[in-house]
Chain A
C-alpha cells in the first residue's frame, strides 16, 4: 500500500511539449512538496503546498506550475519542455507544516526531454 505515489514513473517527450506528473499521498498529510534531482544528483526543492496553499516557491521557471486539487494530491505541470528539464522529480509529503525529518518521498519520475 504505497504511501506517496507518482505517475508516470518514466516520461520521455520532445522539446516544446507540455506534460504533467501526478502525485498522491494516502498518509493524511497536510504538506506536499516537489523536488528536482538534476544530473549532479542534488535534490532541490521546487514547491511546497500546505492544505492546498502554496508556501514555498523556489526560483523555478514559470513554465512549471504546481496544482493541488486537494491536500492529498499535488500535480506538476510543465509547459514548453526544454532539454534542461530532464531530471528525476520527487514528490514528498509531511504531516505538519514545512518540516524536516517527517518528509516521506515518492519513488520519483524520470523525465527525459529529447
Chain B
C-alpha cells in the first residue's frame, strides 16, 4: 500500500543543469507535501513544502510544483550543484497528521 511513490530510484545530472525529481501519490486526501534531503549517515532534513491550495512554492534554487489533478508533485533544483547530491524523499500528510514517505530518489550531480 504505497501511497507515495517515487518511481525513479536514481537520477544523474550535470552541474549547473536542472534536476527534476518526481513524486506521485494515490491518496486524494493528502493536503500537505514536503521534500526531505538525506546525506549518508545522517537523518533526513526538511527542504521545502507545499500546501494543496497552492501549485508552486519557491525557495532559492528549489521549487516544488503540485498538480493535484494528476496527483503528482515535482522538485526542481536550478542550478544543480555537487553538494545537492543526496537522497531526496517526498512525503505527504493529511491535516498535518503523520507523514507518509516515498522510497526516495538518489540524486548525483556531476561536476
Contact = CB atoms under 8 A, between A and B. Distances in A.
Contact of A42 (B44, B98, B103): B103
Interface residues of B, number: 22
A98 B98 contact: yes
B101 A44 contact: yes
**DSSP class of A's interface residues: helix, strand, loop or mixed?**
loop
B25 interface: no
Nearest to B47: A101
A62 to B, nearest CB: 20
For A4, A56, A108, the residue with the greatest tally of chain B CB atoms inside 10 Å of its CB is A108
B101 to A, nearest CB: 4
A97 B98 CA distance: 10
B46 A98 contact: no
Nearest to A88: B43
Given A42-B103, A100-B49, 11 more contacts: A44-B101, A48-B98, A90-B44, A92-B43, A99-B96, A100-B91, A100-B96, A103-B99, A106-B43, A107-B42, A108-B43
Interface of B: 2, 32, 34, 41-46, 49, 87, 89, 91, 93, 96-99, 101-104
